């Protein structure tokens, strides 16, 4: 606790912008090799994400088409119609002894 500086040791800042004394043209920023690598990585991620999205959409559409074909086959089958269905969730716990 002895290392805490006195309150007078801190600098107060009023956060007022300071204008340059002499106006001049801004120099263009030179792109470094690291910036090019990051841009390539970003492009690769974007392309991969787009390709994954296309594959996902194709898979969903293919699944819908398969389900539609199955429904069409079921309509032509000679099975009796389903009048009702029931679903049950069974949760089984195996308890050990307290010994």
Map residue 65 onto helix, strand or coil: helix
Q: What share of the chain is helix, strand, coil (3-state, %, to 5)?
A: 45, 0, 55
The phi and psi torsions of 55 (rounded to 5 degrees) equal -65, -40
pLDDT tens, position by position, 46-96: 999 999 999 999 999 998 888 888 877 766 667 777 788 888 888 888 888
Overall size of the chain counted in residues: 99
Mean of the pLDDT values across residues 26-41? 77
6 vs 12, 13, 35, CA distance in Å? 14, 17, 44
d(CA 68, CA 81): 18
Residue bearing the bigger pLDDT, 92 or 3? 92
User: pTM to 2 decimals?
Assistant: 0.38
Domain boundaries, the chain: 34-74
């Amino acid at each position: 606790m002895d290392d805490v500086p006195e309150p007078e040791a801190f600098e107060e800042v009023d956060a007022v912008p300071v204008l340059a004394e002499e106006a001049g043209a801004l120099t263009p920023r030179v792109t470094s090799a690291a910036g090019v690598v990051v841009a390539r990585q970003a492009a690769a991620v974007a392309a991969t994400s787009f390709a994954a999205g296309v594959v996902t959409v194709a898979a969903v559409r293919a699944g819908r088409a398969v389900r539609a074909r199955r429904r069409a086959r079921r309509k032509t089958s000679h099975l009796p119609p389903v009048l009702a269905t029931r679903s049950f969730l069974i949760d089984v716990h195996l308890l050990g002894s307290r010994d």
